[in-house]
Amino acid sequence: MRHHPSHLPPITTYYQARAADAVVWRPWGEKALREAAAKKKPIFLNIGYAACSWCQRMASEAFRNPAIAAYLNRYFIPITVDRHQRPDVAAAYQMPVVAMTGKTGWPLNVFLIPQGGPYHGGTYFPPVEGALGMPSFQDVLIEAAQAWQNDRQRVEDIAAEMARQMGEGLRPLFQTNLPYPTDPTGEALAALEPDFDAQYGGFESGPKFPQALLLQWLLTRAHHGDNRARQMALTTLIGMARGGIYDLLGGGFHLYAEDRRWRQPRFEKPLALNALLARAYTAAYRLTGQAAFRRVAESTLDFILSTLTLPNGLLASAQSGENPHDEGEGRFFTWTADEVRAILPAPQADLLIAAYDLADEPRTLQRALTEQTLSERFALTLQETTRQLEAARQSLRAARAHRFPPPIDATVITSWNALAVLALAEAGAALQAPRYTQAAVRVATALRQHLHDGHSLSRGQHEDQPIAAGFLEDYAATALAYLTLHRVQAPPPAPAATETANSPWLYESLALLEALQNRFAADWGYYDTLPSEHFFPFGRPQEILDGATPCGNALTATLLAELTVLTGENAFQTQTGTLLDRMAPLLARHPTAFPQWLLAWEILHPPTP
């Protein structure tokens, strides 16, 4: 295969991987759009990230295929974006793809006119027509190119309408004149109940996502005596911990499950998801005192610290689900019954195979039988069953250490590191575990040293190089992490400024809040980007939806609410109220879209039993 010189800066793992493609990729920016206009070609925009297995698959099948790459290079201006480096671009182009196809996911592949408006798109496209019930990528390319050549006016009309909607974002939601709810979070809970899976937990039939922010909100209500919220949260946390989405041997959680019972995971293990779930399991332990929740919280935090910590003290963004040595995605994490029998003594192997329902096909360890049932079936005492299972898991853990582990995406994301600091600090206090408090301070100190120059934040770094200027979510999450360190009375960073020696973490938090408000303030709420740093052709995005991670506006509302409670200052309360009051009708009706907003609301308006 003939490779072309890469136009991409090697500032993330994803961009480095694209250098091996036969496609001549350009980085996102005005220069690439001007080139498309000058050459009168449409743009092919690919958005992905390094740990995404479908992104890796499409790169192997399409972007390194000489014939497909030659067609792309001839008829399009190819641009690729790491969604973690430019979350604004990724979020903005998700909306038109959903509008055009009814679905979204990663990779996201979008066809644009030279001005940036989208006219066609989708997610993963297979190399052969009919695979997964989809057209082949080659056919999609030909269709998009012919539409541009032969039906230009229709293409430009579609792109113009999509661009208009992208420029508006979700602001039209504020113009729907929804009635103001009497009890926004109470109504949100009622809206959520019909979607709850009472048998296995969660809120979909499959694929099933952990929805960690939603669980944190439910646990907050449960702490105030809401038994229905308690049932939904604990049922879900138990279902996930027993299912294949939880890595019983290595700790931490996989991205999501493809089925209702949490049995078949997508295997990547992102930092942000695990930080958020560690907070949820810590909260569940505080609520119930049950050791099982504590064990899951600790193993998840230990996974973050042992697997994702980089030499400079910051945390990598994810562990991938597969590597070139595997015979399929997730093989590092799965076992067959025969593999277990080859490692364990026969009685112990039979016990573990029954406990975790292992068979000929590789599976993760997911609890099928209780220890009481196993004790009766194998004529063992309950204590002996527990001991034998733990010994068996230790043996499998040792055997797994000899496998090739999936690679780490060493790209650092500032907001994700801040979410991890939050989780570690809260766990240190709630679990009375100083090692987690110490780890929180170490990560926060590394963040201050490498990502925060005293005036501004970077979006993150890769191989010690900054990847972009910081976004709203980076400022808000980091300020909230610093505030949490202050709240749990964590040791100060070293060295601390003399003028802030009494409360250095609070000082750092307030300084970041001031920078945030100076840089991102809008007429209502905050923009996500800096126009001088983050090129986007349709204005400054203002995200209000929470996804797998909280949006910047919701994090800012949470930060202001926490400061209101901490300081009692009217200014913070007024700013929080301005944000939350406008959101109240939306969060009351669509709780899964606004869980971090719900958390912010509960801080100022705790529910009454």
183-213 per-position pLDDT tens digit: 999 999 999 999 999 999 999 887 999 999 9
Residue 323: predicted pLDDT? 79
- For domain 13-168, give the CATH number: 3.40.30.10
Residue 6: predicted pLDDT? 66
Residue 501: predicted pLDDT? 57
Nearest partner of 319 among 62, 10, 86, 49, judged by Cα: 49
* Residue 567 pLDDT greater than 80, yes or no: yes
Helices (DSSP H) in 134-178: which residue ranges?
A: 137-150, 152-168
442-483 per-position pLDDT tens digit: 999 999 999 998 889 999 999 999 999 999 999 999 999 999
253-275 per-position pLDDT tens digit: 999 999 999 999 999 999 999 99
- What is the spatial distance between Cα 583 and Cα 601, in angstroms, rounded to a whole number? 10
- What is the spatial distance between Cα 540 and Cα 528, in angstroms, rounded to a whole number? 7
Report the pLDDT averaged over residues 107-128.
Answer: 95
What is the band of 1 on the pLDDT scale with cuts at 50, 70, 90?
very low
576-587 per-position pLDDT tens digit: 999 999 999 999
What kind and span of H or E run contains 479? helix 472-487
- What is the spatial distance between Cα 327 and Cα 523, in angstroms, rounded to a whole number? 53
- What is the spatial distance between Cα 44 and Cα 141, in angstroms, rounded to a whole number? 9
Domain ranges (residues) in the chain? 13-168, 331-405, 443-604
* Residue 496 pLDDT greater than 60, yes or no: no
Q: What is the pTM of this model?
A: 0.95
Residues 6+ apart with CB under 8 A from 213: 276, 546, 549, 550, 595, 596, 599
Q: Where are the beta strands (DSSP E) in 402-516?
A: 408-409, 412-413, 460-462, 465-466
Contact 22, 65 (CB under 8 A): yes
375-410 per-position pLDDT tens digit: 999 999 999 999 999 999 999 999 999 999 999 999
Q: Render the burial of 314-344: b for 16+ CB within 10 Å, e for the rest.
A: bbbbbbbbbeeebeebbbbbbbebeebbebb
* Residue 495 pLDDT greater than 70, yes or no: no
Q: Render the burial of 290-311: b for 16+ CB within 10 Å, e for the rest.
A: eeebbebbbbbbbbbbebbbbe
Residue 498: predicted pLDDT? 42
Residue 4: predicted pLDDT? 54
Share of the chain above pLDDT 70, in %: 97
- What is the spatial distance between Cα 254 and Cα 329, in angstroms, rounded to a whole number? 12
* Residue 105 pLDDT greater than 80, yes or no: yes
What is the band of 541 on the pLDDT scale with cuts at 50, 70, 90?
very high
Residue 531: predicted pLDDT? 86
Residue 416: predicted pLDDT? 98
Report the pLDDT averaged over residues 435-442.
Answer: 97
